[in-house]
Structure 1
C-alpha cells in the first residue's frame, strides 16, 4: 500500500518518473517535467492524465497537426499510431499508463 501525493513529486530531470505499478506489462508512472518531450508514437495505447499544471498536447490527425490545452484533471488518450508530443507550460506532473517499454 502506498499513497502518492502527486503535487509534491519532483524529479532531478525533465520527464523523470516514479514507477507506481506494472500490471501484466502495463506500467503506471508519475512524471515531473518542465520541458517538452519529443514527437513519438507509442507501441500501444497511452493514457496521459495531467495531475498538476498545464500541458499543451500536440498531435497529428489525418496528417494535420492539432493541439489541445490540458489542465489538471484532464486526460489525453492516444490510440495506437497517434503521433504526439507534450509541451508543459511551466512545471507539470503527469500520470502515464502505457505498455511497458514504450517511449
Structure 2
C-alpha cells in the first residue's frame, strides 16, 4: 500500500547532525532529510546541482558570491561546481534533492562526511494515524 511521508517528521526523529537520510527516489535523484546544526565545511559538487528546502529553522549557505539565508519554507539551489558551506546556528531541519551520484561533501572528506550506505539506512516509519471516512 502506498504511504505518504512527512519529511519534517522524519528529519525531527534523526539523532545525528549532518547525517542525511534518503527517504525517497525521484528518477535519478534522491530525496533526503537531515537535522543540522553548526557548519559542515566548504565543498562543491562539480557536476550536480543541490536543492535545499528548510523544513524548520534557519539555514545559511555561504558561497564565494555571497551568502544566502533560508528560513522555514524557503528553497535554494546551489548550482553545480559552486563552493558552498551550509551552516545553522540553531538546530535546523532540511530536505535535499540531489542526483544519486552526488557525494555528501563532494571531494572533501571530513568527520561529517557520510557514505551513501550510511544515508540509505532505514528511517522511522511515518504511518498516519487518522481515520478517513
The bucket for the TM-score relative to the shorter chain is 0.7 to 0.9
Determine which of 5, 25, 28 is the counterpart of 1:25.
Answer: 28
TM-score in terms of structure 2 length: 0.66
Answer 1 or 2: which has greater strand percent. Answer: 1
Q: Is the 8 A contact 1:7 1:93 kept in 2?
A: no
- Using the TM superposition, give the Cα deviation of residue 5 of structure 1 relative to its aligned residue in structure 2, in angstroms: 5.3
Name stretches of at least 5 consecutive residues in structure 2 with no aligned partner: 105-133
| Cα-to-partner distance string for 1:23-71 (whole Å, 9 max, x where unaligned) | 233110011112211211113011111110011110123xxxx112210
The 1-side partners of 2:14 and 2:39 are apart by 15
Tell me which residue corresponds to 1:83: 83
Task: Quote how far apart the aligned CAs of 1:99 are.
Answer: 1.1
Q: Give 1:74's aligned residue.
A: 74
Contact 1:7/1:52 (8 A) holds in 2: no
Residue-pair matches, total: 99
Gaps of 5+ in 1: none
Q: Match of 1:16, SS?
A: coil
Partner of 2:120: none
Provide closer, same or farther for how the CA distance between residues 81 and 5 of structure 1 changes in structure 2, counting only shifts above 3 A. Answer: closer
User: Looking at CA atoms only, which structure, 1 or 2, has the larger radius of gyration?
Assistant: 2
Give me the TM-score of the superposition, normalised by structure 1: 0.83
Q: How far did residue 7 of structure 1 move?
A: 5.0
